[in-house]
Structure 1
Amino acid sequence: MLIINWGTASTKRKSVMETKKTALILAGGKSQRFYPLDKCFITLNNKPLIQHAIDRISSVTEEIIVAARDEEQGRRIKKIIENSNKIVFVFDSSEGAGPLAGFLSGLERASFSYSIVIGCDMPFVDPAVAKFLLEIASSAGYDAAVPKWGNGMLEPLHAVYQNAPMRAAIKEEVRKGVEKISDILLQLQNVYFLPVARIRDIDPGLKTFTNINTAEELKKIIA
């Protein structure tokens, strides 16, 4: 894997700039810490978390795909979101893909070359940050643009992927039993790891990375 960090000249990459982009929202994960509730249905300011994510990402993408766990969850989501007829739904149907099933199904359905992938529990995704990541990846032809913290931690579920190479990498690694997105990134040819410090220039509080995993986290946000 060729690792590209901020500051490295991107002009060496062939530009594959495409004006239209896809947003893939992952909703099929198990909400173990919210059990028996499904966290994409949890409300914040009287709006489901997944609706917050849709509203924020829709301004920078032309296509929104929601990857649901199964058809039942998909039907339930359709009932609670606005303009559901404009949302494409896919399901975790890839056998043996485990937690990556929704990710793979979404990329297989995407109409455009690049997708920004986020979780359904990210109500503060910053459209400007999403646009920045999309532009970095697509303008230079990177396989992925992934935010990276100073301690080395990655944000693979707040990142942009070129669909074709990421699909191929997921399929190959799933055959080996790999289930972590961070491991799959190692199989991509050129990944741009963007220091989170650069994102702070756009979103000083870095709220864009906020995801709600527990009732306690939700209470802190509401307070």
Structure 2
Amino acid sequence: MTSSTHKGLPLYGLVLTGGKSVRMGTRKDLISWHGKQQRYHIADLLRTVCEHVYISCRADQLINTDPQYPMLPDTFSGIGPAGGILTALEFRRNAAWLVVACDLPLVDDRTLETLVGSRDSEKIATAYLNPVDGLPEPLIAIWEPKSYGLLLEYLGKNVMCPRKMLIHADTQLITAPDPNWLLNVNTPADAERASSILKT
């Protein structure tokens, strides 16, 4: 197990599930890629490297949930994944948050251990470089407590894209040994590709 603390800062886990899955046509967090709903599968993975794990959601998603998995409804609503990240950073101001989106079905324990092992708590965040465009991937990243103020600053400028913040901030960027880890599934075609990779 990788240590969940770094220079005195605890590491919490957050599964992002608040998207409306319009392109997929069905809720991505409820898809069962690994024998259980994806939101719970990612939470279980996060529990191996984090002190506490929460599932980020919209308020209307707080029904039919498993009480073993604490939910964290957005207090910053209507601004996409930045709202979930800001909500978590506000909820526990003295913790860093390892954030993983629910639409990354090929994330596994090695993905998280590599990220945590590369963490630099002096930076704003630690993130993978997306193998497609070479840009920081904000939705599988460790966000340090100091990122809270910067995210709020960007929000005040009506910039709601966490990737833009990572591009311009002091971010620890790493390359994924397996680029498939970062395969983002947004459409049925993406899901077919992910299923094919999982079968092999």
Q: Same fold (TM over 0.5)?
A: yes
Relative contact order, higher structure (CA 8 A, sep 6+): 1
- Distance 1:175-1:143 versus aligned 2 partners, 3 A rule: same
Q: How does 1:17-28 map to 2 (within 5 A)?
A: 17-18=7-8, 20-28=10-18
How far the C-alpha of 1:187 sits from its partner, in A, is 5.6
Whether 1:94 aligns to 2:76 is yes
The question of whether the paired residues in 1 share the 8 Å contact of 2:39 and 2:55 is answered with no
Q: Secondary structure at the match of 1:21?
A: strand
Q: How does 1:116-131 map to 2 (within 5 A)?
A: 116-131=98-113
The question of whether the paired residues in 2 share the 8 Å contact of 1:57 and 1:125 is answered with no
Q: Equivalent residue for 2:20?
A: 30
Per-residue CA distance 1:129-153 (angstroms, 9 max, x = gap): 3233224334x52221121246532
Q: Quick one: distance in 2 between partners of 1:136 and 1:38?
A: 32
Q: Quick one: distance in 2 between partners of 1:131 and 1:50?
A: 19
Q: Equivalent residue for 1:143?
A: 124
The question of whether the paired residues in 2 share the 8 Å contact of 1:53 and 1:121 is answered with no
How far the C-alpha of 1:21 sits from its partner, in A, is 1.3
How far the C-alpha of 1:62 sits from its partner, in A, is 1.3
Q: Secondary structure at the match of 1:34?
A: coil
Aligned residue pairs total 189
The question of whether the paired residues in 2 share the 8 Å contact of 1:65 and 1:110 is answered with no
Give aligned-pair identity as a percent.
Answer: 22
- Distance 1:30-1:172 versus aligned 2 partners, 3 A rule: same
Q: Equivalent residue for 1:73?
A: 61
* TM-score between both structures, scaled by the size of structure 1: 0.74
Cα RMSD (Å) of the superposition? 2.4
**Structure 1: gaps spanning 5 or more residues:** 1-15
Q: Quick one: distance in 1 between partners of 2:134 and 2:191?
A: 26
Whether 1:219 aligns to 2:192 is yes
